[in-house]
Amino acid sequence: MENYKTLISLASHENAETEVFILKRDLKSIRVCRNEIVEAQNIVEEGVAIRVIKDGGIGFSVTNKLEYDPLERALKHAMTMAKSSTKSFNWGHLPESNEHSRPPPSLHLSDKELAASSPEDVTDLALRMLKQTASYDQTTCSITCVVMVLSEEFSILNSHGLEHLSEPNSALHSRIIIEAKKNTRYFTAAKQFLSRRLSEFSPEEEVAQVISMADERLQLPSKTISKGKCDVILAPEAAGAFISYLVSPMIVGKSTQQGVSCFTDMLDDKVAASSFSLIDNGRVEGGLGSAIVDDEGTPNRSTAIIENGVLKGFLYDILTACQSGTASTGNARRASDTLGRTYLTPPEPLPTNLIVRNGDYYPDELVEETKKGILIDSLNHTFPLVPERGYFTIMSSFPALMVENGEIVGHVHDITISDELREALMKISGIGNRAQQSLHIGSVVAITPHLRMRGMAVSQKG
Residue 451 lies in a domain: yes
Residue 23 lies in a domain: yes
What's the domain range around 301?
228-460
For residue 214, the one-letter residue type is A
Residue 450 lies in a domain: yes
Is residue 249 within 8 A of residue 385, CB to CB? The reply is no
Distance CA 269, CA 312 (A): 8
Of 408, 423, 433, 451, which Cα lies nearest the Cα of 241? 451
Distance CA 114, CA 195 (A): 10
Q: Is 462 exposed, middle or buried (0-12, 13-18, 19+ CB in 10 A)?
A: exposed
Rama region for 259: left / alpha / beta (φ>0; ψ in -120 to 50; rest): left
User: End of a domain among 218, 252, 276?
Assistant: 218
Q: Do 188 and 293 fall into the same domain?
A: no
Q: Do 243 and 131 fall into the same domain?
A: no
Phi, psi dihedrals of residue 240, rounded to the nearest 5°: -65, -40
Measured distance between the N- and C-terminal CA atoms of the chain, rounded to whole angstroms: 61
Q: Do 115 and 200 fall into the same domain?
A: yes
Q: Look at the chain and report how many structural domains it folds into.
A: 2
pTM score > 0.75 for this model? yes
pLDDT in tens, the chain (462 residues): 899 999 999 999 999 999 999 999 999 999 999 899 999 999 999 999 999 999 889 999 999 999 999 999 999 999 999 999 877 667 888 998 765 455 554 677 889 999 999 999 999 999 999 999 888 765 678 899 999 999 999 999 999 999 998 778 999 999 999 988 877 778 889 999 999 999 999 999 999 999 999 888 888 999 999 999 999 999 999 999 999 999 999 999 999 999 999 999 999 999 999 999 999 999 998 899 999 999 999 999 999 999 999 999 999 999 999 999 999 999 999 999 889 999 999 999 999 999 999 999 999 999 999 999 999 999 877 777 788 889 999 988 889 999 999 999 999 999 999 999 999 999 999 999 999 999 998 889 999 999 999 999 999 986
User: End of a domain among 218, 251, 275?
Assistant: 218
User: End of a domain among 218, 243, 266?
Assistant: 218
Q: Do 25 and 128 fall into the same domain?
A: yes
Residue 156 lies in a domain: yes
Q: Do 316 and 208 fall into the same domain?
A: no
Q: Do 317 and 184 fall into the same domain?
A: no
Q: Do 290 and 244 fall into the same domain?
A: yes
pLDDT tens track for 218-227: 889 999 999 9
Q: Do 192 and 268 fall into the same domain?
A: no
Q: Do 191 and 315 fall into the same domain?
A: no
Residue 223 lies in a domain: no
Q: Do 6 and 116 fall into the same domain?
A: yes
Which segments of 105-215 are extended strands (E)?
140-158, 163-165, 169-182, 185-195
Q: Do 280 and 153 fall into the same domain?
A: no
